Chain A
């Protein structure tokens, strides 16, 4: 199975901050990496697919990038509604696997 190592597991940030979350794959997954936002009691929301493509309707302050087996989700200017848990997922090969999640909290 492909292991997805996500870091940090949590972070504290203030509104307007630039936030970066990283996922590292245990082997090549090409660009088959997706990012989601999850708030308690809500359905997870797809933010970024194929490493860097912005899902329709998602604000442009969210972006994704890739370098080899390292993938990054960046929030350019944190907004109040962005406080949530973020997780990555590889769709390169089954079984599909997820990162452990990053909880973004208010500083």
Chain B
């Protein structure tokens, strides 16, 4: 059974870099699929950061691209999100998810990890 589990710091200071990891179990991250990051600020809608293929090719949301890096570590079967120069507006529930191609639905999601940006 495929499972995705996000992990992160919970609290990040303004101007710092947020780093999150999604560990994938039950499926090899280097096989087929794209692996993506999505967030939901409190009381707001969902926002897609980008998705990465097991080989490392990526699609990014242009509105966030200047601050975002998504990478994959096939040896640990996990992928990561780094978001630079965070502000309070980056406080959100962060999800990782899987899609077969960039044009497909996200068929598996993690439960999400809450990140607050505060000094």
Contact surface of A with B, Cβ cutoff 8 Å: 1, 32, 34, 36, 41-46, 49-50, 55, 87, 89, 91-92, 94-101
The listed residue with most A CB atoms (<10 A of its CB), out of B51, B97, B104, B106, is: B106
Give CA–CA (A45, B110) in the complex, Å.
10
Q: Given that A44-B95, A94-B102, A99-B45 are known contacts, is A55 also in contact with B110, CB under 8 Å in the complex? A: no
B residues near A36, Cβ cutoff 8 Å = 106
Question: Quick check: is B112 within 8 A (CB to CB) of the other chain?
Answer: yes
Give, as a whole number of angstroms, the nearest-CB distance from A14 to chain B. 27
Q: How many angstroms between the C-alpha atoms of A100 and B40 in the bound complex? A: 10
Q: How far is the CA of A44 from the CA of B97 in the complex (A)?
A: 9
Residues of B within 8 A of A43 (CB): 4, 95, 108-112
Task: Give the interface size bracket for B toward A.
Answer: 20 to 34
Q: Which residue of B lies closest to A32 (CB)?
A: B103
Question: Which of these, B46, B99, B112, contacts A91 with CB under 8 Å?
Answer: B99
A89 to B51, CA, bound (A): 15
* A55 and B105 alpha carbons, distance in the complex (Å): 10
Closest A residue to B5 using CB positions: A43
Asked whether A94 lies within 8 Å of B61 as measured between CB atoms, the reply is: yes
